Amino acid sequence: MDRFVGYKIRRIKHAIINELNDILRNFDLRIMDFAVLSIIETNPGIFQNEITRLVGAEPPALVLSLDRLEKANYLLRQLSPTDRRLRTLHLTPDGKKLIKKVTAKVEQQERRIKQAVRGDLPQFVAGLDDLMRVYGIE
């Protein structure tokens, strides 16, 4: 099986995701939670429905994550001043502290992954981007 690229990618994906889950578990977070917090950090006031599109999640899964994060006092949902049907999302001070700590740990994992790549890293990443496009992944 090791001669198949898809098989190798699958095994690597599982190893990376398992390691990421271990990192996040230390903060009582899931991958969806981390994605949501990261997006809100860089886009304060983003609409809830925009996050659904960005993470590629079903609305019910996103709502569960938002509920969990709001209950833990990491984010606030506020009515949009321009459209009361929409809610904007903002990190609380606790949420800002948490995302900094979590991001530092995830960046350690990223550095390890990048160090493991032989050769030209930008070319390798461009190849991954090409594969994502071929498979219709944004």
pLDDT (tens digit, 9 = 90+) per residue, 22-55? 999 999 999 999 999 999 999 999 998 899 889 8
Angle, helices 5-25 vs 31-42, to 10°: value is 80
Over residues 73-119, the pLDDT tens digits come to 999 999 988 888 889 999 999 999 999 999 999 999 999 999 999 88
Q: Which helix (H) or strand (E) holds 109?
A: helix 93-116
Burial code of 48-85, b = ≥16 C-beta within 10 A, e = fewer?
beebbebbebeeeebeebbebbeeeebbeeeeeeeeee
pTM equals 0.88
pLDDT at 82: 85
